[in-house]
Chain A
Amino acid sequence: MKYLYLVLLLNGLAAIAQNNVRITYSITPTGGSLEKNQDVVKSKVANSFVGIDDALTRLSYMLIVKDQKSHFYLESMLDFNEKPARLARAFAGNAEFFKDEQRKTIIKKVDFSNEIFYVKLDSVAQWELLNEQKIINGYTCFKATREKLLRLKQSNPLHIVEAWYCPAIPVRNGPKEFGDLPGLILELQDDKITYLASKIELNNNLKVTLKEVNHKIISENEFYKIIKLTDANTAATVK
């Protein structure tokens, strides 16, 4: 478990009220190792993932929350061209997420095939709040689960996402597209990757700047059509 570092200054509670928060998430493979994960081990491309466990530990993500908007993005981009680092980023996620709580929108910024797309995510499945709790670095957290669909995955396209949220930190947010729980998500298990809040900065004087999305936005359906078409074109060039 990563060390949770909570910086709560005297005026921190006021900051929470204003929702000016900066959270760093570190990454760990769910179950301790991605290289030893059964799906990966059984895969015919298992040898592609040698060294990925180490590469994952070097990734960190940032969630910035200001008022009712937020931005989640990959902070560290070390070893950009090395294969394990590239695949670690593929597993943990290269995309950025822009959430607007008031408008109930989540925009995903994706770099696909050397082109940037801004994709408005469809409304997501509801969380199931469970009566399970655990202490994460002194904070009582509660468990919630929900389904996630990977449209292009042929076998078992649905998996369960597990979130541990902390009602003591009333920030309805978390890694990636996840949030909208009665407290900040301190731990999130999304399939093979687990995101852990390693540093939380709550400070009334915290200066956070949120990027605005001023680009053409497409729907998830449109984006998946583009993926399928691009993949088909790529396959056609392979001879």
Chain B
Amino acid sequence: MKKLVFTVLAVVAFSGVAMLGTQEVKEEVTIDFVADNCTDVYHETYKEFQDLGLEYNAAKEAFAACKESKVLN
């Protein structure tokens, strides 16, 4: 009986000591945003080519610029 009481006390005491050093660890979560500005590149290039008078080629060149921007990223 004494042995059981001693064991319980020892466990409780050990747990208490062990818990003293416990602290909440705040996990830092980092979210990386991949820069994909393809749509912006498309629309900007499209407008610029139209303004330079290249009516039929604007979409094609804008699409090419968009793909190029994806490769660069």
Q: A residues touching B (Cβ–Cβ < 8 Å)?
A: 39-40, 43-45, 48, 87, 90-91, 94, 110, 112-113, 150-155, 159, 191-192, 227, 230-231, 234-235, 238-239
Contacts and interface: CB of A to CB of B under 8 A. Distances in A.
Nearest to A148: B53
Contacts of B38: 238-239
A174 B44 CA distance: 35
Interface in B40-54: 42-54
A230 B61 CA distance: 14
A190 to B, nearest CB: 9
A154 B50 contact: yes
A113 B58 CA distance: 11
Nearest to B60: A113
Given A234-B63, A235-B46, A90 B57 contact: yes
Contacts of A110: 56
A112 B61 contact: no
B55 A227 contact: yes
Given A90-B54, A91-B54, A44 B43 contact: no
Cβ-closest 3 pairs across A and B: A90-B57, A231-B59, A238-B42
27 contacts: A39-B52, A43-B48, A43-B52, A44-B45, A45-B52, A48-B61, A48-B65, A87-B54, A87-B61, A90-B56, A90-B61, A91-B52, A91-B54, A150-B55, A152-B50, A152-B55, A192-B52, A192-B53, A227-B55, A227-B56, A230-B59, A231-B46, A234-B62, A235-B43, A235-B46, A235-B59, A238-B38
Contacts of B50: 152-154
A89 to B, nearest CB: 9
Interface SS, B side: helix
B44 to A, nearest CB: 6
A151 B59 contact: no
Contacts, number: 72
B34 to A, nearest CB: 13
Contacts of A155: 51
A107 to B, nearest CB: 16
Contacts of B53: 91, 150, 153, 159, 191-192
B39 interface: yes
A147 to B, nearest CB: 14
Given A152-B58, A234-B59, A239-B38, A40 B43 contact: no
A231 B51 CA distance: 15
Most chain-A CB neighbours within 10 Å: which of B47, B52, B66?
B52
Contact of A43 (B39, B51, B57): B51
A43 B55 CA distance: 15
Contacts of B61: 45, 48, 87, 90
